[in-house]
Structure 1
Amino acid sequence: MYCRIIILLLVTSFSIFSRAQDKDFRTWWGVQIEGELFDAIDYKVNPEVRYYQNSTKLITVLSDFDVSYPFLKYFRVGGQYRIEKLQVREEYAINRFGIYLKTRYKIKRFRLQYRAMYHWEYRGINTREAGNIPDEYHRHRFMLKYYRKKWDLRPEIAIEYFVNPQQSASIYEQKLRLSAGLEYRFNKHFSLSVAYKYQEEYFVESPLNAYILATKLTYRL
């Protein structure tokens, strides 16, 4: 069973990669620090850099700050802030604020997680004419992980859909993101995750499909 899951994830990733040559292949590199602020109140800090144009050019530098706490028995509510700098011809910063609700269920050795998130972002609030008008999104993500006590390697798959409810949006109207990945736990503090993501845009003038290799090192306090 262990080998079958790994082989399936690898075959899926490489089959996607084989179609990515005429599209934009991107790489994301991140570090995450997570812990507990107070009793049951968790936090995460996640700086990240993202390379675009077939991973040849650094376009995005960002940091996420996340705080969440339990709500009822199966839910957590949280807030998130992201500061993002775009290294493009017209350089500007993005300030994003978000709130979310997520839940997780245990099904034998599987963990099914759902997250509903609403966020709004200001793009170039001090440098662009429309910078004080936020772009709003709601997004929904389903993730399935496989856990086994004797395994240090944990496979996962996820699907996420982004929707912009505004009738006239300045950026992507809708977006679909699929991913398959593996997390390796070195010990109770450190883990390394690698995921391959496919991203598709809808209802835009020039839709671009992106193929993303994301790597993240996590430290748990």
Structure 2
Amino acid sequence: MQKLILLLSISFIGFQAFSQRTWFDAEFSTEIVNNLELSVAPELRFKEEFELNEYFLQTALEYQFNKYFSLAAGYRYGYNINGDDEHQSFGRFNLDAKTNVKWNNLQPKFRLRFTNADDFSDENENVNYLRYKFELEYKIKKLDLEPYVLAEWYHDLDLKEISKSRYESGMMYKINKHHKIGVYYRLNHYLNSDKNNRNIVGLSYKFKL
């Protein structure tokens, strides 16, 4: 276990060489009734020079219809911090449809999300989006590692165009049946704008009861 945690630490340090920003997130989830899961997820997001830029708490309910398909709804409430150290609150909701298929140790996933904010810029603009996320996860059972890659596209429903994309690579380590830790590298990419792209490295922790 110590060697695997060291591997994640080395990966985090390596990702830092390419990143501009650092994010820390956690998720606590439990099944409250049969097939209905409640999750609570706090997150801290830091800008360059490790300056706190945003923090929030997200709650969600997800209903699993079968092993291939689920629906979820979530709400996020948090604060942005501007240059004058003022905190500006924001709220965001999302509706999700998720599907996944397991094939041996390989697990392709797709998520369609409707949301009223972009989760992309510092301003958390109130814009309606459809987000299309494709993810491919592989389980290395002997090491309890789950490396993955994903790509996501943001469809601006007001402008009627796909304006942003997100790419991510990372891995999760399963400590036991309740706890996981992970590291990832993420690129937030503007497609039709001269805004600067964002390189992000993150650490994750998940607890499932």
C-alpha separation in 1, matches of 2:79 and 2:52: 11
Q: Give 1:115's aligned residue.
A: 111
C-alpha separation in 2, matches of 1:95 and 1:213: 24
Q: Give 1:125's aligned residue.
A: none
1:201-220 correspondence runs (5 A): 201-204=190-193, 206-220=194-208
Q: 1:29 aligns with which of 12, 24, 27?
A: 24
Q: Give 2:101's aligned residue.
A: 105
Q: Aligned AA for 2:188?
A: Q
Larger radius of gyration: 1
Structure 1: gaps spanning 5 or more residues: 1-5, 123-130
TM-score (norm 1): 0.78
C-alpha separation in 1, matches of 2:49 and 2:74: 27
Give yes or no for the alignment of 1:156 onto 2:142. no
Q: Aligned AA for 1:196?
A: Y
- List per-residue Cα deviations over 1:167-205 (Å, max 9, x = no partner): 39xxxx72211111110111111110100111111223x
| Alpha-carbon distance, 1:46 to partner | 0.6
- List per-residue Cα deviations over 1:8-64 (Å, max 9, x = no partner): xx6xx95x866x4xxx70100112101111111012111010001x24210100111
Q: Give 1:179's aligned residue.
A: 168
Q: Is the 8 A contact 1:30 1:49 kept in 2?
A: yes
C-alpha separation in 1, matches of 2:171 and 2:44: 20
1:57-206 correspondence runs (5 A): 57-71=51-65, 74-89=68-83, 91-121=87-117, 134-167=126-159, 174-204=163-193, 206=194
C-alpha separation in 2, matches of 1:37 and 1:55: 40
TM-score (norm 2): 0.82
Question: How many residue pairs align between the two structures?
Answer: 192
Distance 1:111 1:165, change over 3 A: same
Q: Is the 8 A contact 1:98 1:119 kept in 2?
A: yes
